[in-house]
Structure 1
Amino acid sequence: PLFEQVEHSIATYHQTETSLIFNSGYDANIGVFSSLPQRNDLVFYDEYSHASIRDGLRLSLSKSQSYKHNDFEDLEKKIKKTAALSTVWIVTEAVFSMDGDSPDWEKLAQICNRFDINLIIDEAHATGVLTDLPKMYQQTTLENHLTARIVTFGKALGCHGAAVLGNQLLKNYLINFARSLIFTTALPPLALATIAAAYESLQDKSVGEKLQKNIDYFNQNIQNLGLKNGFLPSRSAIHCYIVSGNEQAKKLSFQLETSGFDVRPILSPTVPAGKERLRFCLHAFNDEKQIIEALSVLQKHD
């Protein structure tokens, strides 16, 4: 009953029919991508997709190939070239973890409508942050193609676990075929209570509004301080400042740390050589003074 109660709360919040809890985001993606696409299906995934998506596809009987990051012209060319006789899936993320950007939803919807695509979206870094996604899926007609959405609890919600969102047929299928769900011990009651409490906290809209104000203020001031060229464009809580070279990235991260800011360096080979970066993750509890002080450290370096 506790699992059912929490899964019902999750489904209600995300405006979907059902949810199915997994032990982690990694387990959820392994379960979904290893079992949903079938033999001879063709899966196109964004080249910046998370490692768990790629690992799940490696376990699948389907065929898969990447397309250039958020490049829907490249995706369309590949679909036209290879997909005529196959069931086609597209996999993308609502917010990409190493860049902080999102797909062009209108262009994605056009492709899904044109080729009758099955769509899976990983919402790990959007969970609790981009609260208008269900409305956007409806307005763009993407909801007509959405087979599954994956949300995780280890980012904005600060706890453990993940859930796959979809209809009852999807849930029944995964219960029977997702090995990363079946052949492992379920989350304990304490973890479920923590998840339930985290979703309860999302009812306070002021927290999300404060985060959005911080995102807007951050973007405004990277421009005011002449730092815009160093940052990748982002409207999410993730903002990445490119610092070429692992040692340079670590050095600048240490400078921020000594100023009181925990900003982690993302090093190659996690990201391509020459594209090393500092990843700023904004929170609702940050204030304007902290944002200016952190950016001032970059300004001195720049």
Structure 2
Amino acid sequence: MEKLPKKLQSKIDQRKAENALRALTFKGELVDFSSNDYLGFARSEDISKRASYLIKEVTPINGATGSRLLTGNHKLYGQLEDFLTEHYGSESALVFNSGYDANIGFFSSVPQRGDVVLYDELAHASIRDGIQMGHAKSFKFSHNDIDHLKERILSLRAQSSNESEIYVVTESVFSMDGDSPNLESMAMLCREQNCFLVVDEAHATGIFGQGRDMVSQLGLQKEVFARLITFGKAIGCHGAAVLGSPSLKEYLINFSRSFIYTTALSPHSLATVLAAHQYLKEQGEPVIQTLQENIGFFKSEATRLQLSEKFIQSNSAIHCALVIGNSNVKYMAQQLQSHGFDVKPILSPTVKEGEERLRFCLHAFNSKEEISRVLSLLKNLM
């Protein structure tokens, strides 16, 4: 038998020709400027000990044993969802196995045939995939452009029936740029035009709003139809949740296929998420403050070294320096890695051709010396 069908092999060959072939690598002992572990919770012994205690106290079993609708809805699910509801100021929470599962489950089932989804042109692949799996029409609006979004809404309102719903989708922190939309203006527009606002908080969860998210920081909980929070980034664990009304939760339990037809998370996964949130609530403030200080220091050092023009404007933990061309950005990343810094290149087609970049993820555990050194090396390479 052929090693691989010819059409598939041709795609692999094309990626190689474009110097864009992806491959799995093992994490080395480099200084971390690439992981999503913004607060360092993934390496916390305190959280690990708390999780072990919770498992022993609540449900000392290893596996989920089935989907949540069959046998997998163990006690830790209820405890975690109750905690999330209170912590994030939501009416209810429904835990999914990952942010990807949550987005495809939500967008494939909630917008109905005849409805319209308006999504930011830089929205995450999981949002796009979920929309494509559903039956609603969809259109992009220019990145963080409220005026263009308004034009789209008014045009749709003029030509659609009163029964058509409009869902507006954005991210509070964009994963490949690190920037944020004007959520207050977007919420006001959605309220005026009777649209349903959906916000993916993946890269804001645990960092903004005193360990909550951007919507909480801005006090917009009642203005947002649904929020996606994830546990695999600043929370340092795995999984995600959709925050919204009890009616939305009931609907997703009944119609979201990525929720219904999958084995539930293990007790250990849920215990770790709950333990991390408990730690965040009790002791997270100084860690978040340290992260914010590192973000400010990174930006000031970039200015001092006259690198600011190379970076996309960001107030988050994600900072991206544009380096055009897959070969160029891969070379610069390899140079930084050879000097002990784990900085990843972001290649096309992950981003548009001509917008390739070095992506710096900042953490509470990064030292100011490490930040200065990596930026000085970048200056020399530039």
State the TM-score bracket (shorter-chain normalisation).
over 0.9
Instruction: After superposition, give the CA deviation of every residue in 1:48-74 in whole Å (9 maximum; x if it has no partner).
Output: 001110111112121111111111111
CA distance in 1 between counterparts of 2:188 and 2:242 reads 25
Query: 2:91 aligned with 1:17, yes or no?
Result: yes
Instruction: Give 3-state SS (helix, strand or coil) of 1:270's partner.
Output: coil
User: Match of 2:179, as an amino acid?
Assistant: D
1:14 positional shift? 1.1
Residues paired across the two proteins, number: 299
Aligned position for 1:111:
189
Query: 2:149 aligned with 1:71, yes or no?
Result: no
Conserved? CA contact 1:11–1:17, under 8 Å: yes
CA distance in 2 between counterparts of 1:195 and 1:9 reads 10
Query: Which stretch has the larger CA shift, 225-234 or 191-200?
Result: 191-200
CA distance in 2 between counterparts of 1:69 and 1:126 reads 18
Query: 2:265 aligned with 1:191, yes or no?
Result: no
1:145 positional shift? 3.5
Query: Which stretch has the larger CA shift, 190-199 or 128-137?
Result: 128-137
1:36 positional shift? 1.0
Over 3 Å off, 4+ runs: 134-137, 142-145
Task: Using CA pairs under 8 Å that are at least 6 residues apart, name the structure with larger relative contact order, 1 or 2.
Answer: 2
CA distance in 2 between counterparts of 1:121 and 1:250 reads 32
Instruction: After superposition, give the CA deviation of every residue in 1:169-197 in whole Å (9 maximum; x if it has no partner).
Output: 11111111101000010001111111112
Which aligned pairs between 1:13-162 and structure 2 lie closer than 5 A? 13-84=87-158, 85=161, 86-131=164-209, 133-138=214-219, 142-162=220-240
User: Match of 1:147, as an amino acid?
Assistant: F
Conserved? CA contact 1:46–1:66, under 8 Å: yes
Conserved? CA contact 2:336–2:374, under 8 Å: yes
RMSD between aligned residues: 1.3
Return closer, same or farther for 1:152/1:287 CA change in 2, 3 Å cut-off.
same
CA distance in 2 between counterparts of 1:237 and 1:102 reads 12
Instruction: After superposition, give the CA deviation of every residue in 1:117-176 in whole Å (9 maximum; x if it has no partner).
Output: 1011000011111225344443xxx44441110011111122111111112111111111
Percent pairwise identity: 51
CA distance in 1 between counterparts of 2:215 and 2:138 reads 27
Instruction: Give 3-state SS (helix, strand or coil) of 1:202's partner.
Output: helix
Which of 324, 335, 342 is the matching residue for 1:255?
335
Query: Which stretch has the larger CA shift, 160-169 or 7-16?
Result: 7-16
TM-score (norm 1): 0.96
User: Match of 2:197, as an amino acid?
Assistant: L
Which of 49, 68, 77 is the matching residue for 1:3?
77
TM-score (norm 2): 0.76
Instruction: Give 3-state SS (helix, strand or coil) of 1:83's partner.
Output: helix
CA distance in 2 between counterparts of 1:136 and 1:14 reads 10
CA distance in 1 between counterparts of 2:88 and 2:149 reads 28
User: Match of 1:260, as an amino acid?
Assistant: G
